Structure 1
Amino acid sequence: MCLEFGGALDVRAVLEFVDSGRDLVIAADGSASDLIRDIATECGVDFDEDSEAVVIDHTSYAVLDGEGDHSLIASDEFIQSDVILGSKKIEAPVLFKGIGHTLNAANSLVLKVLSASPSAYSTNPETELSSPPSLTGAAISLVSVVQARNNARILISGSLDLFSNRFFRWGVQKAGSLEKDSWKILVSDYRHAKSGNEQFVTELSKWVFHEKGHLKAVNVRHHKVGEVTEPAMYRIKDDLEYSVEIYEWTGNSWEPYVSNDVQVQFYMMSPYVLKNLSTDQKGMYSTSFKVPDVYGVFQFKVEYHRLGYTSLSLSKQIPVRPFRHNEYDRFITTAFPYYGASFSTMAGFFIFTFVYLYSK
C-alpha cells in the first residue's frame, strides 16, 4: 500500500491543514492506503481493518432490473438535521458500495450522516465467515462528518462510487419495497427514477464547505442600564445590559440567526449568572441582570454549540469592585434592632449616671 502521497504531503501536513481552519473531504474504498486510514483515525473514524471487506446487507440493498447486488446498499438512514442535509427531505435512498467504518466513542466531534441498517455487516464476500463479523448493524457508519473545535469541517466516506455520475443517475428500488407472490414480483410503486445521491452529496458538500450552518457574532456590547458606553468596571449590585448580534451565512448573504437557546454567563471560576438571551428576530440578542454581590474579575461568556452549526465562543473580561466607603447606605433597615439596642444602652447609661450622681 502507498505510504505517502508524495512531496511534503503526509499525515502531519493534512492535520495542520485542518488545524488552520480549512475543510477536508476523505473518500476511500477497500483499497485505501494506510496513510488515508491514519488520517481518518486521527479524525475519530476507524475503517474496517480487512482491506477486502465491504458492507453487505441482505434486506436493504438496491434492486436493479429485478436483480440485486447485496453489496450495493440502498440506505435512507440519514442524520436528522436540516442544517446538514437541507430542509428538503431526501426521498430516494442513497446508493453506497464500499467499506464501512465505526466512530471513536471518545471523540464527541464526529457524527454519522449516513448509517447502515441493523441487518448490515462488513466482511470479505469472497471468503466464508468462520466467526461473527467485527462490524455489524447500525454501528456501521457509511458517511460521517467531523466539526473540529476550530470549526473546520471534515467529510469521511467509505465509498468512491457514492460521488460518481453513474450513482447520481441510476434509478433505485430498495429491496424492502418489493413483495413476492407465486407468479410475479409486485413493485409497490416506489421505484425512484433517480437515487438520492446527488441531493445528498450536494447538500452535504454545502455544509462541509461552510455554505450553510456558519454563524458569526458581532457587536458584543455591555453597559449599565440607562447608559450607552462600556465601563471600565462594574460595582456590585449594578444593573447592566448585555447584547450581541448573531448572523448565519446562507450561501449568498448573512441573514439574522433566530433561536431561543442562546445563553450568556457572568463567570468567575463558575457561573454566578446564567441567562437566556432574548432576540428581536433581526439578529440582536440581549438581556439585563444585576451584578452579583461578589467582587473580583468576571467574564461575560457565550458558549453556543448546536448540531450542524459552527460553534460560537465569546468572552469579555470585566472587574467588579465593592462599594466605596461613601457609597454604603447610612442606615440599613435590617439593622434597626441593633441601632435601637445601641441607643437604648446609651440612654440607660445616661439615666444611671444621672441617678447615681444626684441621688442621696
Structure 2
Amino acid sequence: MAKMLFLPLLILLLFLFECESFSAENPTDRRLLVLVDDLAIRSSHSLYFKFLESRGYVLEFRLADDPKLALQRYGHYLYDGLVIFSPSVQRFGGSLDQAAVLDFVDAGHDLILAADSYASDLIRGIASECGVDFDEDPDAVVIDHVGYAVSEIDGEHTLIAADDFIQSDVILGEKKIEAPVLFRGIGHSVNPASTLVLKVLSASPSAYSASPKTKLSTPSITGSTIALVSVVQARNNARMLISGSLDLFSNRHEKSGNEQFVTEISKWVFHERGHLKAVNVTHHRVAELAEPAMYRINDDLEYSIEIYEWSGSSWKPYVADDVQVQFYMMSPYVLKSLSTDLKGLYFTSFKVPDVYGVFQFKVEYQRLGYTSLSLSKQIPVRPFRHNEYERFIPAAFPYYGASFSTMAGFFIFTIVYLYNK
C-alpha cells in the first residue's frame, strides 16, 4: 500500500519540478503548446517548427478544439509559451478560452498569434486585448497595387512584398533582412501613443485594407498606418507576436525574407535576445563597505548595480551608456548617469541632499526591444544630531566677532564709567 502511494507522489513531485523549470535564471521558453485548426499545418509550416526544435524547444501540437486542452494543472502552468496557428477557431476546447490565454500572458508567459482573412471573433478578441485591432471588415485583406509580389498569379494583388521593418537590432537581429517579406493576410492598427505595442512590419504607402470582392469604398486603414506584424511587451515583460498572416510562417515562400524574419523575431519573442536582469544592488558611504541602515544629510555615498543580458544560452555583461539612478523622495533630488566597467558593473557616487526624510534609490530602465528594469530600494536620511555640528562654523565668524567685540566694548565702557571722575 505504501509503495502504491509513493509512486503517484513521486510522479507529482517530478511534474511540479518540470513546471517550475522556467525561471529568471533561465528565461528562454522551452515547452511550447502549438494550437492548429488542422494537423496538416505541421507539414505546411514544417520549416518554422524545425527551427524551433533545433533551438531546443519542445513542441506539443494539439487541435484548437481538443476537449482535453488545458494550460495549467494543480495551479501550475504546463507550458512556457503558446503558439496559436488556428485563426478560424470559434471556441477553444477544454478549459481554454480567451480569459485563460490572457491569464497565461499575465503570468509572464509568451504568445504568438497568427490570423488571416478567416480570423474568428475569438482570435480578434485576444488580439484586441493585447492592444492590436484588426480591420473590422471580416472580408478585408491588405492590397497593394504597387508593391505586390511578382510571383502572384491571382491578379488581386493581395500577396504583397513588404520591407518596412522596425529599426531595431535587438528585435530583428544584427544581420539586415535583404529580401522583402511576402505577406498575404489582414492588416491591423495600433495605438501610436502606446509604448507597449510596436509595429515590426508595416505596409507601404500605396497599400490599403479592403475586400477584393466588393466595390471599393473608403478603406478604414491605409498606407503605412497598416501594421502587418506587431509585437507587444507587457509590463511584466511577457512578449507577444501578432501577425495578420498565418501564411507568413509557411514553407511556400522561397527566395524571400520570410524565413529570416520569422526566425529572428521568434528569438526575441521567446527571450533569446533583449532579456535583462539586474543583480547585486549595493550602496554605502565612501570608504566603507557595509550598507548602512540610514544616511545623514551631506554624506558622500557610492551606488552600484550589475546588469546582464541573456544571450540564449548564458548571461553576458550588458553594455550601455544610458542607465541612470534617481535618489527620490516625491521627486528626484539626484539624477545620475551610471558609469560602467564594460563587464556588467554600473556605478556612481554623489552627495546626499541637505534634506532629511525617506528616500529611494530608483532605477527605471526602458529601452526599445529590451525587457524593462524597475528597481527601488528605500533608505531614510536623518539630519545632524546636536553633537555632530561643528564647534565653530566658518560662516558664523562675523557673528562670533560681533559678539566678542560687544562684550569687550561693554567691559571697557564699565571700567571707564566706574573709574572716570
Alignment TM-score, normalising by the size of structure 2: 0.77
2:413 paired with 1:357: no
Partner of 1:159: 245
2:317 paired with 1:256: yes
Partner of 1:52: 139
Partner of 2:14: none
2:97 paired with 1:10: yes
Deviations along 1:208-250, whole A, 9 cap, x unmatched?
A: 0001100011111111111111111111111111111111011
Q: Which runs of 4+ in 1 moved over 3 A?
A: 65-69
State the Cα distance separating 1:346 from its structure 2 match. Answer: 1.4
Partner of 1:91: 178
Partner of 1:137: 223
Q: Which moved more, 1:33-42 or 1:308-317?
A: 33-42
What is the rounded CA distance, in whole Å, between the counterparts of 1:94 and 1:60 in structure 2? 11
2:398 paired with 1:302: no
Residue of structure 2 aligned with 1:271, choices 317, 323, 332: 332
Q: Which moved more, 1:199-208 or 1:1-10?
A: 1-10
State the Cα distance separating 1:355 from its structure 2 match. Answer: 2.1
State the Cα distance separating 1:3 from its structure 2 match. Answer: 4.7
Q: Which moved more, 1:346-355 or 1:315-324?
A: 346-355
Q: 1:20 to 1:302 in 2, by over 3 A?
A: same
SS in 2 for 1:302: strand
Residue of structure 2 aligned with 1:116, choices 187, 198, 203: 203
Deviations along 1:177-224, whole A, 9 cap, x unmatched?
A: xxxxxxxxxxxxxxxxx1100100000000000011000111111111
Q: Does the Cα contact within 8 Å between 1:113 and 1:144 map onto a contact in 2? A: yes
What is the rounded CA distance, in whole Å, between the counterparts of 2:327 and 2:112 in structure 1? 39
Q: 1:57 to 1:323 in 2, by over 3 A?
A: same
Partner of 1:230: 291
What is the rounded CA distance, in whole Å, between the counterparts of 1:152 and 1:323 in structure 2? 46
State the Cα distance separating 1:6 from its structure 2 match. Answer: 2.5
State the Cα distance separating 1:260 from its structure 2 match. Answer: 0.6
Alignment TM-score, normalising by the size of structure 1: 0.90
Q: 1:302 to 1:114 in 2, by over 3 A?
A: same
- Aligned residue type for 1:46: D
Residue of structure 2 aligned with 1:339, choices 388, 400, 405: 400
- Aligned residue type for 2:245: S
Tell me, which stretches of 5 or more residues in structure 2 are unaligned? Answer: 1-87
Residue of structure 2 aligned with 1:220, choices 268, 271, 281: 281
Q: Which moved more, 1:270-279 or 1:331-340?
A: 331-340
Tell me, which stretches of 5 or more residues in structure 1 are unaligned? Answer: 171-193
2:96 paired with 1:35: no
Q: Percent identity?
A: 79
What is the rounded CA distance, in whole Å, between the counterparts of 1:142 and 1:225 in structure 2? 53
Deviations along 1:285-310, whole A, 9 cap, x unmatched?
A: 11111111111111111110000000
- Aligned residue type for 1:59: V
Across the aligned residues of Structure 1 and Structure 2, the Cα RMSD in angstroms comes to 1.5
SS in 2 for 1:17: helix
What is the rounded CA distance, in whole Å, between the counterparts of 2:152 and 2:233 in structure 1? 40
Deviations along 1:35-74, whole A, 9 cap, x unmatched?
A: 1111111111100001111000011111018996511010
Deviations along 1:92-140, whole A, 9 cap, x unmatched?
A: 00010000000024532100000000110000000011x3211100100
Residue of structure 1 aligned with 2:108, choices 7, 18, 21: 21
Residue of structure 2 aligned with 1:74, choices 154, 157, 161: 161
Q: Does the Cα contact within 8 Å between 2:152 and 2:159 map onto a contact in 1? A: no
- Aligned residue type for 2:103: E
- Aligned residue type for 1:135: I
Q: Which moved more, 1:8-17 or 1:150-159?
A: 8-17
What is the rounded CA distance, in whole Å, between the counterparts of 1:69 and 1:259 in structure 2? 47
State the Cα distance separating 1:14 from its structure 2 match. Answer: 1.3
SS in 1 for 2:101: helix
Q: Which has the higher contact order (CA 8 A, sep 6+)?
A: 1
Partner of 2:17: none
SS in 2 for 1:252: coil
Partner of 1:175: none
What is the rounded CA distance, in whole Å, between the counterparts of 2:123 and 2:154 in structure 1? 34
2:217 paired with 1:126: no
Q: 1:334 to 1:282 in 2, by over 3 A?
A: same
Aligned length: 334
State the Cα distance separating 1:15 from its structure 2 match. Answer: 1.3
What is the rounded CA distance, in whole Å, between the counterparts of 1:111 and 1:161 in structure 2? 21
SS in 1 for 2:412: helix
SS in 1 for 2:276: strand
Partner of 1:313: 374
Partner of 1:290: 351
